[in-house]
Structure 1
Amino acid sequence: MLPDEELKRLRWRAHHRGTREADMLIGGFFDAHNASWSTDERALFSALLEEQDVDIMAWAIGTAEAPQRFAGPMIDALKLLDYIRSAR
């Protein structure tokens, strides 16, 4: 798959999770970080998208620990929650 097509697919999957909360969290994370990702990090994010939204959200807010295969810089960045836009 070409990089542009892959990014479009990942963006769509990140923003269409099924709940508004998950769309904001996962889609916002994608928007904030995808430009700096390596090929391996894109693959890791793609694998993350296969997980249940409730699990991803629990890892982000710290109510559950992420599986070892996801532990590292991506989950650390996900936990910051500084990428979520909120109305002020």
Structure 2
Amino acid sequence: MTDEETRDIRIKRLNMRSMRRGTKEMDIILIRYAEARLTAMDTAGLDAYEALLDENDQDLYQWISGQKPAPAVHAPLISDIKAVAANG
């Protein structure tokens, strides 16, 4: 987030990044999560989500699908994404 970027603009940008991924599967999973959770997140949560979006889609998919364990830094967020996906 830059100094000029407001919270609303940041959330819109993260929504866009969530739906313009490299794979359709991740587009669907992440945009549902973003729409469900981003507006309620604090700055630290948005920072964590933005860092997660910097990861490779293949890695993200394996972490979310349970094929590989998520790195500790992303594990809480991955668990929340799984929960939203399961209820979606």
**Number of matched pairs:** 83
TM-score (norm 1): 0.85
- 2:81 is equivalent to residue 78 of structure 1: yes
Give the counterpart letter for 1:56 in structure 2.
L
1:23 to 23, 27, 30: 27
- The CA deviation at 1:82 is 2.7
State the superposition RMSD in angstroms. 1.3
Q: Which runs of 4+ in 1 moved over 3 A?
A: none
Is 1:61 paired with 2:65? yes
TM-score where L is the length of structure 2: 0.85
Instruction: Flag the structure with higher helix content.
Output: 2
Report how far residue 83 of structure 1 moved: 5.1
Among residues 5, 8, 13, which one is paired with 1:4 in the alignment? Answer: 8
Letter in 1 for 2:24: R
Equivalent pairs: percent with the same residue? 30
Contact kept? 1:62, 1:79, Cα under 8 Å:
no
**Structure 2 gaps, min length 5:** none
